Amino acid sequence: MTKTGTVFLVGAGPGDPDLLTMRAARLLQNATLIVHDGLVDPAILALASSGATLISVAKKRSKHTLPQDQINALLVREAHAGRDVVRLKGGDPFIFGRGGEEMEDCHAAGVPVEVVPGISAANGAAAAAGIALTHRDSASIVSFVAGQCKGLKDQNWAGLAGQHRTLVIYMGVKTAPQIAEKLMEDGLSPAMPVAVIENAARPEMRVLRGPLAALPEIVENHSVVSPALIVIGEVTARGDHAIARIAEEAAA
């Protein structure tokens, strides 16, 4: 009787291989099957052994290599065939990574799961950009939201952004105009500082700053693409160097 394999839900962190946990690195180096997201940096995939099978389940807006239910079924099928599976996700598996859904389906099918946390995209991007998501003088609350989802305009974001609060928006590049409009309609000042962090913790990282009202133009004029995060709050403008660059970078 074939022994059921284990599914390892592994966080790849924000992009730099040096930011992997030691557990994640060991699993990658010893894996025979890796099912990975599209935004996982190639340098991280390069850590896999030459004999490993790599399966991409890349997801882009309105275009998925595999729907989520088929990804779940793939993990279960391979584990039932006796293979250990490294399910590699950008950031942390349980923060907008659908790791919870995959774990639940695996458990329902009798497949053991081990979760290997990673540095979340929000934490990694903010740290790489020199932005403290919390600060004694500027922010005592941090909220994470998804900017790419159905019914965005009708969602209640009241109180998520504003004075002494930091709002981190995942998957918000394509919906930046709607996000800015929504927040300003909810009463957030058009002058609230914003930072867009693209390719965090990678050599090609860009940090673009400006006021909330200019968010759509920042994204469009600089041709921002995923992986990118939007951080909204006073913490993005802390420090003389950041404040001096706000108007310049927004207008560039």
* Residues annotated as catalytic (active site), given as ranges: 37, 59
Identify the CA nearest to 194 among candidates 161, 160, 220, 230. 230
φ, ψ (nearest 5 deg) of residue 118: -130, 165
- Give CA angle at 200 (148, 158), nearest 5°: 40
Q: Across the strands, what pairs with 198? A: 206, 228
Any alpha helices (H) in the chain, and if so which ranges?
A: 22-30, 42-45, 68-80, 99-108, 121-128, 176-185, 215-221, 240-251
Task: Record the tokens describing residue 75, joined without a space.
Answer: 């993990």
